[in-house]
Amino acid sequence: MRIFNRVVVVLLLAGLFVLGVFGVIYSFDLLPGYRLAELPQTLGLSQVYDGAQGVVSDVENGTLTEIAFLVLVGVALLGLILLILELKPPTPRRVELQKGAYATRSAVKNQVLAAADQAPDAINSSARVKARRGPGAKIKLKAGVRRGEDLRAARSRISEQVGEYLGTAGIPVNRLKVKVSETDPRSGGGSRVN
């Protein structure tokens, strides 16, 4: 979204610059023989100008076609959506540990994987860490367990192990979601997910 916003802002600023230059040129009469009223013809935009003037007069008279009305509503909704996205603060890149102390998501992920490796049930594990605007992190952990083990009990034990480990490491956890699947350690594949 940042790139799109920058492109839009650059285009708007370029348009303002061009309008400002033409405003200065026409206000000081630097181009003799040209008037501001003739600007659309000078720029070769007379057809666009006439079309826009027709739409504006249709809006004023209340004689818009259904398609023009839908286009105007779409433009208004697009503008509202872009405004909301611009005003919404970006998601943080670092995990806040406490007031003024931060850790990278990869450091938290490494701690989560270390905690999962210490759990006796977990064979293969992978994690995703998201930072939030307050202290703590949202963690999704996928872990494999041996075939035949109780998946719910294994998930509970792994969740407890990771929670305790991160608590002693000083990493607050906002939400910990653990997904457990049966895995054959020899093949690395999983069959049943819980």
The CATH superfamily holding the domain 94-193 is Cation efflux protein, cytoplasmic domain (3.30.70.1350)
Q: How far is CA 39 from the centre of its chain?
A: 41
Mean pLDDT of the chain: 78
Task: Examine the pLDDT at 11 and tell me if it is beyond 80.
Answer: yes
DSSP 95-136: EEEETTEEEEHHHHHHHHHHHHHHSSS-SSEEEEEEE-SSBB
What residue segments make up the domains of the chain, in order of their start? 2-87, 94-193
Question: Percent of the chain beyond pLDDT 90?
Answer: 0
Q: What is the pLDDT of residue 177?
A: 86
Task: Examine the pLDDT at 191 and tell me if it is beyond 50.
Answer: no
Partners of residue 49 on adjacent β-strands: none
Structure confidence by residue, pLDDT tens digits, 148-180: 777 888 888 888 888 888 888 888 888 888 888
Task: Examine the pLDDT at 42 and tell me if it is beyond 80.
Answer: no
Instruction: Tell me what the mean pLDDT of segment 99-120 comes to.
Output: 83
Q: Tell me the residue type at 185.
A: P
- Quote the CA–CA distance of 19 and 168 in Å, as a whole number: 61
Q: What is the pLDDT of residue 66?
A: 84
Angle, helices 151-169/105-118, rounded to nearest 10 degrees: 130
